[in-house]
Amino acid sequence: MVLSDAKAQVSYDYDTGRITTFLISTQHQEDTSVMDIRPLVEAVMETAGKIKNDNMSDEDFYKFKF
């Protein structure tokens, strides 16, 4: 189902790892769906905070920046 005028409201349940989306349309009835995307959330959380060149020295960063 595609709703061009739809607005999505998303909530995340930390206990179950489930994301609930509410698609609200001015022309259609509300459609509620629950997606279990635990593997995706875990993958994002595992990579969060890891930046390439994170261990770069101040001098090397200065050279890189300019």
Residue 37's pLDDT is 52
Give the pLDDT confidence of 10-65 residue by residue, as tens digits. Answer: 777 778 777 776 666 555 554 455 555 555 555 555 555 555 556 667 787 777 76
* Predicted local distance difference test score (pLDDT) of residue 58: 75
**Domain boundaries in the chain?**
1-43
| CA distances, 27 to each of 10, 23, 31, 42 (Å) | 20, 12, 12, 36
pLDDT at 19: 75
pLDDT of residue 3 exceeding 50, the answer is: no
